[in-house]
Chain A
C-alpha cells in the first residue's frame, strides 16, 4: 500500500541544511498496523505527514496504492487523500464551533456526499461508537477521551483504507488510551483498515503488528 523510497527531508537553517529524515525507505502492506517510535525530534511526525500527503519530502519517491504520489497533480493527490486517508491527532483538532455530529459530518460535506446519505452514515457511526447521546455537544463539553473518540470517528467517516494517527493517546490517561487502542485494533482486524500510529508508549505500540524505531531521521531495525 505504501512504498517510501529514499526519502530525505531537510530544512535550511542558518544556510545549512538540517536533515530531519535521512534516506528513509519503508513499505507498509495493506492491513498492517504499524507503530512508529522514537525520541522527540526524531522526525516521526514529519514522516507521518509525508505519508499523509500533508507534507512533501525534499527528495525521494512515494507510491501509494500503486500511484506515484509526488508526480500527481495537486488535485489528484487531494482526491487520493480524501478517498483513502484519515488523520487522527494528538490534540484531537476538533472544530470548536461544530457539534459532535457536525464535526463527524464535515468530511462528508467536503466530499460532496448527498444529505440523506450523509445522515445515514453519521447516524451509523454515532450508533456504532455509542455517542448518540453526545451528538449535540460541542468539543469543549467533552472529556479528552471522548474528544479523541470523536476525532477517530471523524477520521473513519469517509471509510478510509489508511488511518494515520500522531500520538493519538498522548493527551489521554491510560484507560482512555487503551480504549482508543482497542478500537484501532478492532478496526484493523475486522475491517482491514491499515493503521500507522506514532506513539511513545511501548504498551500502545504493542497493539500493532509491527514496530519501527526512528532515530535521528533514520529507521533502525
Chain B
C-alpha cells in the first residue's frame, strides 16, 4: 500500500510542478531559516558547557547603587581571588586579568599585537577545568604550568602561529616590553562559545602594575579588568564565600554610600545571558529574549510557508476533486484518502527539509560572517536534534496538510464527479483570505522593523555628537613620555595634511575611558556620583571641535599644576545644580583620582562620550600628561592616505620597539553599534525571505483565480472591457488583503519597535512615513506579482478562451 501510494504521490507532485515548486521553495526556505536559528540558539546555549560540574562554578560580581541607577560590574579588584582563598582554604578561587590586547615579541623579531590574553593564577585550571574538551592539554603540566612568574601557556593555534612546527615548549616571549615569559604548556584552542576566550595564558606571578598603566595591582580601590572565579563544592564553602565577600565590602567602604555595594556570586552558566554585565564581560552577551525573538521569527517564517501550502492545496483540491470522487467510487474510505493526502504533504515536507538542510548548510558561513560567530553544523547530527526534527516534520506536515486533506477526504463523490465543486465554499474562502492577511501582516511587520532599525542607524551616523568625528584618528602611544611626545610632534610639525594634534587619553568616544567618583559640596552625601575623566592637552578643544560656553579653556600652565584646573561639560554643572555655566566657574569638585580637587575654569557644551545607547554623562577635561596615551589627530580629508603614511613613519621613528596602532574615531563609534547592525541584517534577511514566500504563494493563488476566471475574462473582453480594468478586477481583492495586513501590522510593529528603541537614550521618533513606505512597498510587490499573470490572462484572445470550455 505504501509503495503504491508513494508512487502515486511522486507522479502527482511531478505532474503539478508549479504547485510542487512553490511549496518546495517556500517550505525549504522556511526550514532553512529555522535550522539556522536552531543552530544559532544551540550555539548560544552551548556557552561555557565544557567545564565539569558547572553548577559549582561562579564568578564574583558586584552591584553598586548610583544616584539614579544600579551599576552592575563583572570586574572585581585584583586582590579578590587571593583574599577568598586566604580567608578559607576550602574556597577554590582564581583571580585573572583579562587583557584585550597585548604586545608580544619573539626574540629579535618585530613586535606584534596578540588579542585576548589572560593572566591567571595557579588555581585557574582547578576552577575552570575545560575537561569537556577532549585532550585539552596538548603539552605541559596543568598542575604547575601557572605557578610562579614568567610562565606562558599557549593555545595550539597561537603556538603554531608563533613557532610553526617547532616545539613551542621552552620558547621565550617578551610581553608588552615589560616581562619575559617561557612557554610551559600548550592547550587546545578555546572554543568560541566561551565567555572567556583567550589565545594565551600568562601566569599571574608575571602580572604587575606595569600591565595596567602603573596602577596598583594590590589595591582594592579599582577593578580594572580583573575577574574572580570560584568553584564551590559544598554548602560550607558557599556560605564562607558569601561572608568573605561581605567582609571585602565592609573593610573597603570609605563612605556610607560604599556600604550599599554588594558583591555576590553569578552562576557561570548565566554569564553569557545576563545583560546586566554586558559592559564588563570579556566577550559579547546575548539575552534570552533575543534568542526567543529569533525563534519566534523562525516560527513566523515557517508558518508563512505552511500557509502557502494550505492555500494552494485547498485551491488545488477543487481541481483535484474529480480524482477524489473517483477514488471514493472505487472504494476509498475517508480515512484512506486523508492518509493519502497527508502522506503527500509529508513527502513534500521531507523533500523541503532536505533542500532546507542544504540551504542552511550553504548559508551557514554567511551567517557566521554576519554575526561574527563560529557556529558549526555539528549539532545537526546529535540524536536529540534528529528526534526533534522528525517530530517537527510531523508537526509541520500536520499544520500544512491536515486542513486540505480533511477537505478533500470530505468531498461528496457525486458532486465532485459532476465538477460542482469548482468553486470553494464561503468559509474556506474566508479562511484563505485570513491566512493571506496573516502572511502579509508578518511580512509588513518585518519590513517596518527593518525600516525603523535602518532609520535609527542613519541617526547614529547623522546625529551631532558635540564633537568632530570625521577624519579624526587615534594613534596609540605606548608610553606617556613627554620627551617622546615632543619628538613625535616635531616630526609632524610641517605636515600640511594634519589640521590639529592633541595628546590625550582618547577621543571623546574611545576605547579608553576613565570613570571616577565625584564629590562636591553641592552634591548630597550618601549618594555616589560618577564623572568621566578625559585627560587631555590644550589642543583637545580644537582637535575635536568642542564648544566653550563659559570661562576659559585649558592653558599650558594648567599642565604644570595638575589638579588645579578642570574644564567640565554642561551635564556636570547641571548635576551640581547650576543651570548657568558662568555660575559654576571657580567651584571645586573632588575627583576620585589622586583625590584631586581642581577648580572649574571652563564649561563646554555637552558632547557624547559613548554610543547613543547612553545618556550624556558628566565629563571632566583634565590636563594630566601621565595619561596621554593617545595622539588624537584631525586630518585634512583630501589627502589622508599620504598623511597617514607620514604619521606612521614618524611614530616608528619615535617608538621603534612597539606595534603601531591607529583607529578612526568614526569607526570606533560604528563598532558600538555592532548589535544594531546585526539586528538590521537579520530583519532585512527575514523581511526578504518572508515577503518572497508570501509572493510565491500569492502567485500560485492568482494562477488558480485566473484559471477560474478565464471564461469571465473572455466574456468581459468581448463586451469591451480594457486590460487594465480586468487586471484591477483580479488584483483588487488581494490588494485589499494587503491593506488589511498593513492595518494589523502597523500597531504591532509600532509597539515592538518602540520597545527596541528604548535601548537608546537618543532615538528617532517612529513617524507615519515608515508605515506608509512599508505599506506601499508591500502593495507594490503584491501588485507586481499579481499583475504579471493578470495581464497575461487579460490580453489572451477572448475567442480562444470562450471556445475551450
Binding site for B on A (CB under 8 A): 49, 52, 54-55, 78, 81-82, 87, 89, 93-98, 102, 105-107, 109-112, 154-155, 158
Indicate if the CB atoms of B331 and A97 lie closer than 8 Å: no
Chain B residues positioned under 8 Å from A52 (CB to CB): 329
The complex places the Cα of A95 from the Cα of B323 at a distance, in Å, of 6
22 interchain pairs, CB-CB under 8 A: A49-B414, A52-B329, A54-B329, A87-B329, A87-B330, A89-B329, A89-B417, A93-B322, A93-B326, A93-B417, A94-B326, A95-B323, A96-B323, A97-B8, A97-B15, A102-B4, A105-B4, A106-B327, A109-B1, A110-B332, A154-B330, A155-B330
7 shortest interchain CB distances as A-B pairs: A110-B331, A97-B11, A93-B326, A82-B331, A107-B330, A87-B329, A110-B332
A95-B327 contact, Cβ under 8 Å, with A109-B1, A109-B4: yes
The complex places the Cα of A154 from the Cα of B7 at a distance, in Å, of 19
Chain B, 1-53, CB within 8 A of any chain A CB? 1, 4, 7-8, 11-12, 15
Chain A residues positioned under 8 Å from B7 (CB to CB): 102
Minimal Cβ-Cβ distance residue in B for A74? B334
Indicate if the CB atoms of B12 and A93 lie closer than 8 Å: no
In whole Å, how far is B334's beta carbon from the nearest beta carbon of chain A?
9
Indicate if the CB atoms of A110 and B333 lie closer than 8 Å: yes
Chain A residues positioned under 8 Å from B15 (CB to CB): 96-97
Indicate if the CB atoms of A111 and B326 lie closer than 8 Å: no
Please name 18 further chain A to chain B contacts, defined as beta carbons within 8 Å, in addition to the given A93-B322, A93-B417, A106-B330, sorted by A numbering. Answer: A52-B329, A54-B414, A55-B414, A78-B331, A82-B331, A87-B329, A87-B330, A89-B329, A89-B417, A95-B326, A96-B15, A96-B323, A97-B8, A98-B11, A105-B4, A106-B4, A109-B4, A110-B331
The complex places the Cα of A159 from the Cα of B94 at a distance, in Å, of 86
Indicate if the CB atoms of B331 and A81 lie closer than 8 Å: yes
Indicate if the CB atoms of B329 and A110 lie closer than 8 Å: no
In whole Å, how far is B413's beta carbon from the nearest beta carbon of chain A?
5
The complex places the Cα of A81 from the Cα of B330 at a distance, in Å, of 9
Chain A residues positioned under 8 Å from B12 (CB to CB): 97
Chain B, 310-334, CB within 8 A of any chain A CB? 322-323, 325-333
The complex places the Cα of A105 from the Cα of B330 at a distance, in Å, of 10
Chain B residues positioned under 8 Å from A96 (CB to CB): 15, 323
The complex places the Cα of A6 from the Cα of B7 at a distance, in Å, of 46
**Interface size (B, Cβ < 8 Å)?**
22
In whole Å, how far is B127's beta carbon from the nearest beta carbon of chain A?
66
Q: Does B336 contact A (CB under 8 A)?
A: yes
The complex places the Cα of A155 from the Cα of B7 at a distance, in Å, of 22
Minimal Cβ-Cβ distance residue in A for B336? A110
The complex places the Cα of A49 from the Cα of B413 at a distance, in Å, of 10
The complex places the Cα of A97 from the Cα of B13 at a distance, in Å, of 10
The complex places the Cα of A94 from the Cα of B331 at a distance, in Å, of 14
Q: Which of A78, A93, A94 has the most CB of B within 10 A?
A: A93
Residue among B8, B323, B331, B414 making CB contact with A107, cutoff 8 Å: B331
The complex places the Cα of A55 from the Cα of B322 at a distance, in Å, of 16
The complex places the Cα of A78 from the Cα of B336 at a distance, in Å, of 13
Chain A residues positioned under 8 Å from B330 (CB to CB): 87, 106-107, 110, 154-155
Minimal Cβ-Cβ distance residue in A for B413? A54
In whole Å, how far is A91's beta carbon from the nearest beta carbon of chain B?
8
Chain B residues positioned under 8 Å from A105 (CB to CB): 4
The complex places the Cα of A110 from the Cα of B329 at a distance, in Å, of 11
Q: Which of B8, B322, B330 has the most CB of A within 10 A?
A: B330
Minimal Cβ-Cβ distance residue in B for A98? B8
Number of A-B residue pairs, CB cutoff 8 Å, is: 55
In whole Å, how far is A79's beta carbon from the nearest beta carbon of chain B?
10
The complex places the Cα of A107 from the Cα of B1 at a distance, in Å, of 11
Minimal Cβ-Cβ distance residue in A for B325? A93
In whole Å, how far is A129's beta carbon from the nearest beta carbon of chain B?
17
A78-B333 contact, Cβ under 8 Å, with A55-B414, A95-B323, A105-B4: yes
The complex places the Cα of A94 from the Cα of B325 at a distance, in Å, of 11
In whole Å, how far is A111's beta carbon from the nearest beta carbon of chain B?
6
In whole Å, how far is B261's beta carbon from the nearest beta carbon of chain A?
76
Chain A residues positioned under 8 Å from B413 (CB to CB): 54
Residue among A93, A102, A111 making CB contact with B329, cutoff 8 Å: A93
In whole Å, how far is B651's beta carbon from the nearest beta carbon of chain A?
77
The complex places the Cα of A106 from the Cα of B336 at a distance, in Å, of 12
- How would residues 642 to 656 of chain B score, 1 for a CB under 8 Å from any chain A CB and 0 otherwise? 000000000000000
In whole Å, how far is A140's beta carbon from the nearest beta carbon of chain B?
11
In whole Å, how far is A180's beta carbon from the nearest beta carbon of chain B?
18
The complex places the Cα of A106 from the Cα of B1 at a distance, in Å, of 9
Chain B residues positioned under 8 Å from A109 (CB to CB): 1, 4
Chain A residues positioned under 8 Å from B328 (CB to CB): 54
In whole Å, how far is B700's beta carbon from the nearest beta carbon of chain A?
20
Chain B, 287-340, CB within 8 A of any chain A CB? 322-323, 325-333, 336
The complex places the Cα of A106 from the Cα of B7 at a distance, in Å, of 12
In whole Å, how far is B255's beta carbon from the nearest beta carbon of chain A?
85
In whole Å, how far is A54's beta carbon from the nearest beta carbon of chain B?
5
- How would residues 395 to 421 of chain B score, 1 for a CB under 8 Å from any chain A CB and 0 otherwise? 000000000000000000110010000
The complex places the Cα of A52 from the Cα of B325 at a distance, in Å, of 13
Indicate if the CB atoms of B8 and A111 lie closer than 8 Å: no
Chain A residues positioned under 8 Å from B11 (CB to CB): 97-98
In whole Å, how far is A139's beta carbon from the nearest beta carbon of chain B?
11
The complex places the Cα of A160 from the Cα of B100 at a distance, in Å, of 85
Indicate if the CB atoms of A158 and B331 lie closer than 8 Å: yes
Chain A residues positioned under 8 Å from B1 (CB to CB): 109, 112
Minimal Cβ-Cβ distance residue in B for A103? B330
The complex places the Cα of A174 from the Cα of B237 at a distance, in Å, of 102
The complex places the Cα of A98 from the Cα of B417 at a distance, in Å, of 18
Minimal Cβ-Cβ distance residue in B for A157? B330
Chain B residues positioned under 8 Å from A93 (CB to CB): 322, 325-326, 329, 417
Chain B residues positioned under 8 Å from A110 (CB to CB): 327, 330-333, 336
A111-B414 contact, Cβ under 8 Å, with A93-B326, A97-B11, A105-B4: no
The complex places the Cα of A109 from the Cα of B331 at a distance, in Å, of 9
Minimal Cβ-Cβ distance residue in B for A86? B330
The complex places the Cα of A110 from the Cα of B414 at a distance, in Å, of 19
Q: Which of B331, B336, B414, B417 has the most CB of A within 10 A?
A: B331
Minimal Cβ-Cβ distance residue in A for B328? A54
Chain B residues positioned under 8 Å from A102 (CB to CB): 4, 7-8
Minimal Cβ-Cβ distance residue in B for A154? B330
Minimal Cβ-Cβ distance residue in A for B7? A102
Q: Which of A54, A98, A105, A155 has the most CB of B within 10 A?
A: A54
Residue among B4, B322, B327, B331 making CB contact with A111, cutoff 8 Å: B331
In whole Å, how far is B336's beta carbon from the nearest beta carbon of chain A?
6
Chain B residues positioned under 8 Å from A158 (CB to CB): 331
Minimal Cβ-Cβ distance residue in B for A93? B326
Q: Which of B7, B323, B326 has the most CB of A within 10 A?
A: B326
The complex places the Cα of A94 from the Cα of B7 at a distance, in Å, of 16
The complex places the Cα of A78 from the Cα of B329 at a distance, in Å, of 10
Chain A residues positioned under 8 Å from B322 (CB to CB): 93
The complex places the Cα of A106 from the Cα of B333 at a distance, in Å, of 12
Minimal Cβ-Cβ distance residue in A for B8? A97
The complex places the Cα of A157 from the Cα of B539 at a distance, in Å, of 101
In whole Å, how far is A107's beta carbon from the nearest beta carbon of chain B?
4
Chain B residues positioned under 8 Å from A89 (CB to CB): 329, 417
Chain A residues positioned under 8 Å from B336 (CB to CB): 110
The complex places the Cα of A111 from the Cα of B336 at a distance, in Å, of 10
Chain B residues positioned under 8 Å from A49 (CB to CB): 414
The complex places the Cα of A111 from the Cα of B332 at a distance, in Å, of 8
In whole Å, how far is A157's beta carbon from the nearest beta carbon of chain B?
9
The complex places the Cα of A89 from the Cα of B417 at a distance, in Å, of 10
The complex places the Cα of A110 from the Cα of B324 at a distance, in Å, of 13
In whole Å, how far is B339's beta carbon from the nearest beta carbon of chain A?
11
The complex places the Cα of A175 from the Cα of B322 at a distance, in Å, of 28
The complex places the Cα of A97 from the Cα of B5 at a distance, in Å, of 11
Q: Which of A54, A96, A97, A105 has the most CB of B within 10 A?
A: A97
In whole Å, how far is A211's beta carbon from the nearest beta carbon of chain B?
24
Chain A residues positioned under 8 Å from B4 (CB to CB): 102, 105-106, 109
The complex places the Cα of A82 from the Cα of B12 at a distance, in Å, of 25
